[in-house]
Structure 1
Amino acid sequence: MTLEERKTRIRKYLGKTVNVVIDRPLGSAHPKYPNTVYPVNYGYIPNTVGGDGEEQDVYLLGVDRPVESCTCRVIGIIHRRRDREDKLVAAPVGMEFHQAEIEEAVRFCEKYHIHYVEAMVERSCGTVPYTVIDGKVRFLLIAGGDGYCGFPKGHMECGESERETALRETWEETSVRVSLKDGFVREAAYPIGRGKTKRVVYFLASFEGQHPRHNEGFENNELLLLPFEEAVRRLTHRDSKKILEDAYAAIGIVNK
């Protein structure tokens, strides 16, 4: 089986409801490494074949006690780069975990493998950054070569808070250190294919006396410092326009 065949086959589980039999319950020791204790339930889907020729293994999240089995929904995949078998991640129907939460939950074992997480719900965080020049508000936007224009944002990583992600991503994409403003948080959600959803949380953020520029090694997009009216016109998505309107009202400065 080629790598692409393996990826295609395991992705068919995403979003599916499955029955998982637990053979390594929460609190049990790893059969080969007794010092490793499972902080989550771990099992397999009966009558399936994984990449290693055995039944497909599954991490079960969202159940805080040892169980023998669970009917649950597949919410993610641990893609191992140097292993024959990828791992599924499931949770009780109706529960969501994004990629950073999944990474945190399975790190006890997956830290020994080169891997990446594919999740049904992707979580990103960003800012609506602004500065005041000569008494007038200017918003910092990012324009890509494909015509897209939006706010600085990026994927939440394991161990980060939403605010930490927003600050890091803004710095990486604009070289600007911003200060997050309390009391303003907005969220946008949209489909990204294969039944998956991206959820993005935005914080209002200000900066002073800094010049936006590209950080070496990060996206080489165009950085725009625009007044409110022009920024609204340039933004691609309707949700982003509404977020900008809310942010401008929250700043409390009338730009005429």
Structure 2
Amino acid sequence: MNKLKLQVTIDRPKGYVDQFGNVYPLNYGYISGIIGGDGEKQDVYVISKNAETPIGTFTGILVAIIHRDDDVETKWVVTSEKEVISEKEIFENTSFLEKHFNSRIEIL
């Protein structure tokens, strides 16, 4: 099955601290041209061995969607084409934000 290849613009690079004091342990950004449930650009977590330092953009494949049952948003998870990441890895890498929501991970 072909995976959706995406170009992610990083607006919260690894190490970024948001207004609530959350420190981002990964690169986080958005997909231009795709609108999420909140009316803003679709948010994306980048989980990849090729993105372990702060970066500005990332090209990869969509491997999972995080559904928030108590929010209007979904978060997409993107990694490099040759990488395989588990649900456990996604959970561990995104729990810094997802712990505030009733979230579930859909592996694609």
TM-score in same-fold range (> 0.5): yes
Q: Which structure: larger Rg?
A: 1
Give distance in 1, aligned partners of 2:89 and 2:30.
21
Is 2:47 the partner of 1:65?
Answer: no
Compute the displacement of 1:94 (Å).
Answer: 1.0
Give distance in 2, aligned partners of 1:86 and 1:19.
17
Compute the displacement of 1:105 (Å).
Answer: 0.6
SS of 1:46's partner is strand
Correspondence for 1:47:
33
Give distance in 1, aligned partners of 2:26 and 2:106.
19
Comparing both chains, which one has the higher relative contact order based on Cα–Cα distances under 8 Å and sequence gaps of 6 or more? Answer: 2
Give distance in 1, aligned partners of 2:54 and 2:81.
18
Compute the displacement of 1:15 (Å).
Answer: 2.5
SS of 2:78's partner is strand
In structure 2, which of residues 5, 13, 23 is the aligned counterpart of residue 25 of structure 1?
Answer: 13
Q: Percent identity?
A: 38
TM-score, normalised to structure 2, is 0.93
SS of 1:47's partner is strand
Deviations 1:163-186 (A, max 9, x none): xxxxxxxxxxxxxxxxxxxxxxxx
Give distance in 2, aligned partners of 1:39 and 1:116.
20
- For structure 1, list consecutive stretches of 5 or more residues without a partner in the other structure: 1-13, 121-256
Mapping of 1:168-207 within 5 angstroms? none
Letter in 2 for 1:23: D
Is 2:79 the partner of 1:95?
Answer: no
Letter in 1 for 2:40: E
In structure 2, which of residues 81, 94, 103 is the aligned counterpart of residue 115 of structure 1?
Answer: 103
- For structure 2, list consecutive stretches of 5 or more residues without a partner in the other structure: none
Shift >4 Å, 4+ stretches: none
Supply the RMSD in Å over aligned alpha carbons: 1.2
Compute the displacement of 1:119 (Å).
Answer: 1.3
TM-score, normalised to structure 1, is 0.40
Compute the displacement of 1:54 (Å).
Answer: 0.7
Correspondence for 1:10:
none
Mapping of 1:76-225 within 5 angstroms? 76-120=64-108
Compute the displacement of 1:36 (Å).
Answer: 1.3
Give distance in 2, aligned partners of 1:102 and 1:52.
22
Letter in 1 for 2:32: P
Correspondence for 1:213:
none
Q: How many residues align?
A: 105
Compute the displacement of 1:100 (Å).
Answer: 1.0
Correspondence for 2:62:
74
Compute the displacement of 1:18 (Å).
Answer: 0.4
